[in-house]
Structure 1
Amino acid sequence: MLKSLSWLRPAPGDFRDQARALRSEMRGGRGDDLGMRLYALANHALDENQLVSLARLAAGACDAGAAPAPFSAVKLGVFGDGTLSLIAPAIAGTALRHRLAVDTFVGEFNRAALDALDPSGPVRSAGLDMALIVSDARVLGLDRPAASRAAADETVERAFGQVRRTVEGLRPSIGSAILVQTVAAPLEPLFGSYDRIEPGSPLSMTAAFNRRVADWAADGGVVLVDVAHLAECVGLEAWDDPGQWHAAKLGFAPSLLPVYADVVARAMAAVRGLSRKCLVLDLDNTLWGGVVGDDGLGGIVIGQGSATGEAHLAVQRMALALRARGVVLAVCSKNEEAAARAPFREHPDMLLREDHIAVFQANWTDKAANLRAIAETLNIGVDALVLLDDNPAERMQVRSELPLVGVPELPDDPALFPRMLAAAGYFEAVSVSKEDRARAEMYQANARRAAALSASADVGAYLASLEMACAIGPVSEMTRARVAQLVNKSNQFNLTTRRWSEGELAAAIRDPARHVAQVRLVDRFGDNGVIAVLIADKGPDAWAIDTWLMSCRVLGRRVEEACLAHLAGAARAAGARALIGRYIPSPRNAIVKDHYRNLGFALEDESGGATTWRLDLDRFVAPALEMTVADGFLAPENAAA
């Protein structure tokens, strides 16, 4: 399943013709749908050669670092002590299906540490957004046994120090994240089963090294790419190819390049906030066996004692596990609504209940239309949705109408549905905060807010009925990781899409020349958590807004006006006379193109699609808002926690 990328459709028979047509189009006049056609071609199970072809197309599609919709441009540096020339194009080709247009910079063979530490070398001037550190147990010296526990500890520490020095040397050159791989364990046993116990065995030392890397990633120092787990999943015997290692210093079998590249690309996409947010569930023959409208409540197959019933329970169990980590659940079914809801309400063996579902769409409208309605209700894009549906015709219709929706292929056997969904990696995470785990509840509260709005004839009365409380304050140690995550994941309501690592954010917070604020919002439906970040450079006459981003789930709630009132008040208090804002367009932030205009700023400059705006503070009057605002910069005891 993993080796063959079975969640994707097979490569089209005319792949070469499609690639050739796209290449010709790039040489001539580009069509408006160039990016979407490239994305559609990438969403197949492609081999190494096809991925190389796609990588060339991706490079041709980008113009001066800008990528066509739906892609986000990324400059990736690939560093390691083995052969990297095969890895880089496979990642670039694969990344297209994760909505990233990747331009790769490949480090010199066996020069990872030297490249990273050279202050005048090409790495420093390459303009890298991310870096990938490709490691191997053999290069790190973890494949040779140690004679004692002390010697084993020393070997692991030396290997970890080697990777850490490379990472720290690269940090000044990387705009966003550094991805570090775990390493696959050597296949050949030394003591047999006792390898797991003996600290000096290669198996135990690679496990200790991988634990150090995982702890490092948990602290926010790097982003983890768990190659060791991938190797275990496909089988170490299939993963390790000694001939390739001896001949080319490639750490795994070339046939596994596509799945390896997919694991790397999905981690990169997660860094950019492109992981999916909502799992949309079909009902008949997906959550239960049979058709509830035909078979009735007692005729559907669900529950213990039946292989089919237990298989469908496993689907529900996975959905609940995803919800517990923050994935929103919705239902999209062609059914009479009463019949569709009955199992959730009445069937004793159902694990999923109505209160687990944020949006319930059961009718005879086509699924693409219902998916649009689900996205609109949750205030997210359709590109945040994944549809789990056993019906091939429905999957085809959704892919045709809504190509940005994630739609995994499913086998006939429902026992394999959970594995296929997990293998696809739609919900990849690079960190998990308390707010991430509460996201499902937050979006369900959003759905209730949408219902309240639709029942109200007056927007002002609706906003007042929410009983909103907005807290604006400094970023604390407790929330810094969440704020960094929001900065690096927010793509739509983000004026400049400037990315800040957690370390850079910590430095900005300490910098007296910068103003860094976080914004929380609570209402009668629940706590929305940290929903906005503001970073401004303090000038003597004007404050320049470097970063202004907000979660899209609070759009239309006048939070942006509260943010402006805060910035204006803080700048005035410091003696400034104006605010300067800048909008830099990206493939996904068009919704804020007129943000500053709408807030009363005057256009000062326009160049290459980017605009600069000015607000004179002597003319600014803070608006009356349908919320209470506690400003922790004016009253530190009220600072956001």
Structure 2
Amino acid sequence: MLSELDWLRPTPADFRDQLRTLRAELPGGGQAAVERLIALATHRLDESQLGRLATAAASIEGDPQPLSRMTLGIVGDGTLSLLGSAIAGSLLRHGFLARVVTGDYGSALQQATDPTSPLRTADLDACLIVPDYRLSLGRPAPTAEAAAREVDAAFARIEAIAQGLRPSVRGQIFVQTLPPPVEPLFGSLDRVEAGSLFAMVEALNARLVAWARSGAVILVDIARLAASVGYERWDEPRHWHASKLSFSPAMIPVYADVVARTIAAARGKAKKALVLDLDNTLWGGVIGDDGLDGIVIGQGSSGGEAHLAIQQFALDLRQRGVVLAVCSKNEDDAARLPFREHPDMLLREDHIAVFQANWTDKASNLRAIAATLNIGVDALVFLDDNPAERTQVRRELPLVGVPELPDDPALFPRMLATAGYFDAVAFSEEDRARADLYKANAERAEMLASASDVGAYLRSLDMRCIIRPFDSISRARVSQLINKSNQFNLTTRRYSEAEVAEAEADPARHGIHIRLTDRFGDNGIISVIIADRKGSDWDIDTWLMSCRVLGRRIEDAALAHLVAAARADGAKRILGRYIPSAKNRMVEGHYARLGFTLLEDLGEMGAVWALDIEDYAAPDLPMTVEDDALASKGVTV
């Protein structure tokens, strides 16, 4: 299932013809052609097909909407040339048009530390480090002490590669774990005996995990991938001996997809909501025909337990922050009945953020769900047993994640999990609460729709805006927002947790995060700002905000804070930059709306805006502002 990419549709018989047509259309074909390219990428493509797709995509001129451009570096052990095009092809299905620059064989450390190397001069957005145990660790060690020295040296080399690359990489550095050798040395004792290669690889992977936990790098767990498909299938020695390829060529497509989905998660493209069909998905049978007593769910039958397992997996996803919604062709009352009255149902109405049960086509209902949650349709995954419904949604909404499903519902959870739609690179308390946050946001949207006075509606929310400086507790969430926010993000600059920690300690940088609570609950940290002190100017490096609080006047509260902090620091002006990206056109007029004056029009590179602090008057806001960041310095707004 995993190695064959079974959640994707089979490769179309006319793949070559479709690709030939796309090659002719892509250079000037606009968004419609790019969406057809993405649709073609969401098939089970082999290494060659992925490469040809990536080559065709490289001809796209200008803005590749809805894709985001990026440049990825790959450096490490073994032969990497076969990996780059497959990763680029796989990134298309995860929202990125990538240019991939691969390092030469046997020179990873040299290229990483040489400022003039092709990697260092490639203007990288991200870089992947690919170690292999055969070159990183070599042979078994004679003693535990010798094994520890070998592991220390291997880790130091990988760390040196990352540190060498860091000045030339704008975004994240990814490091993959190492699959262990298939061949045992001591048999079952390998895991115990520190000098075995198996134990040394495990020790090195543990160091990489701790490194990733610190926020310095992002882990791509290829060791787990290899274990899932089977080490023996993963590792074919003849390919190592012939070409120094670290694993079987047959595994390149699934390897490339796991790398691509991890990059997508780190850069804000992971899915946010799971939309569930009901009949023959959450339960067996049709509620409108079979009634409450006739649907199949619960203990005592394999079918009933299979449908329970689907619900349990949905709840597990919700617990880690995935929003749940329902999209069903049913009468609303009938669809809700099992959630309310069936004793074996695990899912209840309170778990569902948006409930769409009607006779409208499912693509239209998915658009409505996305609008209610205030997210794009590209953030949705749709789980439906019916192939006809899946086909209609894919045709109408090619950016929605729609996994193929087998006939056996017992395999639905595994298919959904292995597809990796909800892969994460960090997890915080904010993430844990996200499902409830979006459910509350849907309730706010319903309340706003019935309100006649927006100002009165905002005041009725009883909002509290809490402004705090960066700290160790908030660091993971701050970094996560910086790396995943794309739309309301003025500069789209990316910083790791380690770099956020550096900003905390830098007296020349002013970093804050903003939390919003209201009568419906706690929205969590929803905005991040970093400003640099430059003489009499404060220069805003980063200003981003979660789209789920748009229209709540948080940006006005944030500017009031910035002006008060800058004024107390003796500054005369606040400078703000808008740097266009494929996703952030919505904030092109942000500074103009806040009263800034255009200082410099940079054309396609954006604009620089300025606000004279002396001329600024703080607005009346429909919220209570608790500015702990200013209070800690004895400053009042």
Q: Which TM bucket (shorter chain)?
A: over 0.9
Structure 1 residue matching 2:93: 3-state secondary structure: helix
Corresponding residue for 1:7?
7
Correspondence 1:330 to 2:325: yes
Corresponding residue for 2:613?
617
Corresponding residue for 2:551?
556
2: CA distance, partners of 1:329 / 1:457: 29
Q: Which amino acid aligns with 1:483?
A: V
1:365-514 aligned within 5 A: 365-514=360-509
Higher mean C-alpha displacement, 286-295 vs 446-455: 446-455
Structure 1 residue matching 2:527: 3-state secondary structure: strand
Structure 1 residue matching 2:97: 3-state secondary structure: strand
Give the Å deviation of 1:109. Answer: 0.8
In structure 2, do the counterparts of structure 1 residues 631 and 398 end up closer, same or farther at CA, with 3 Å as the change threshold? same
Uncovered stretches (5+) of structure 1, i.e. residues with no partner: none
Q: Which amino acid aligns with 2:458?
A: L
2: CA distance, partners of 1:256 / 1:121: 30
2: CA distance, partners of 1:407 / 1:234: 23
Kept in 2, the 8 Å contact 1:75–1:102? The answer is yes
2: CA distance, partners of 1:434 / 1:575: 37
TM-score, length basis structure 2? 0.96
1: CA distance, partners of 2:34 / 2:214: 36
1:32-431 aligned within 5 A: 32-61=31-60, 63=62, 67-141=63-137, 144-431=139-426
Higher mean C-alpha displacement, 235-244 vs 35-44: 35-44
**What fraction of aligned residue pairs are identical, expressed as a percent?**
62
Corresponding residue for 1:630?
626
Give the Å deviation of 1:310. Answer: 0.8
1: CA distance, partners of 2:603 / 2:21: 29
Structure 2 residue matching 1:553: 3-state secondary structure: helix
2: CA distance, partners of 1:638 / 1:391: 62
Give the Å deviation of 1:584. Answer: 1.6
Give the Å deviation of 1:342. Answer: 1.0
Give the Å deviation of 1:2. Answer: 1.3
Structure 1 residue matching 2:288: 3-state secondary structure: helix
TM-score, length basis structure 1? 0.96
Deviations 1:243-279 (A, max 9, x none): 1000000011111110000000001001111000111
Kept in 1, the 8 Å contact 2:216–2:496? The answer is no
1: CA distance, partners of 2:620 / 2:121: 48
Structure 2 residue matching 1:298: 3-state secondary structure: helix
Q: Which amino acid aligns with 1:379?
A: N
1: CA distance, partners of 2:574 / 2:189: 66
1: CA distance, partners of 2:23 / 2:161: 37
Q: Kindly tell me the number of residue pairs found equivalent between the two proteins.
A: 634
Deviations 1:46-86 (A, max 9, x none): 111111111212322255xxx51111111111001210100
Kept in 2, the 8 Å contact 1:630–1:638? The answer is no
Uncovered stretches (5+) of structure 2, i.e. residues with no partner: none
Q: Which amino acid aligns with 2:200?
A: M
1: CA distance, partners of 2:61 / 2:509: 33
1: CA distance, partners of 2:391 / 2:634: 53
2: CA distance, partners of 1:34 / 1:455: 39
Deviations 1:427-446 (A, max 9, x none): 01011111111111111121
Give the Å deviation of 1:133. Answer: 0.8
Q: Which amino acid aligns with 1:42?
A: A
Kept in 1, the 8 Å contact 2:214–2:497? The answer is no
Kept in 2, the 8 Å contact 1:344–1:352? The answer is yes
Corresponding residue for 1:517?
512
2: CA distance, partners of 1:32 / 1:190: 55
1: CA distance, partners of 2:193 / 2:549: 54
Kept in 1, the 8 Å contact 2:129–2:176? The answer is yes
Kept in 2, the 8 Å contact 1:632–1:638? The answer is no
1:583-598 aligned within 5 A: 583-598=578-593
2: CA distance, partners of 1:168 / 1:127: 16
Kept in 1, the 8 Å contact 2:280–2:385? The answer is yes
Deviations 1:430-486 (A, max 9, x none): 111111111111111212222222232221121111111111121112112211111
Higher mean C-alpha displacement, 438-447 vs 280-289: 438-447
2: CA distance, partners of 1:155 / 1:638: 53
In structure 2, do the counterparts of structure 1 residues 258 and 327 end up closer, same or farther at CA, with 3 Å as the change threshold? same
CA RMSD between the two structures:
1.7
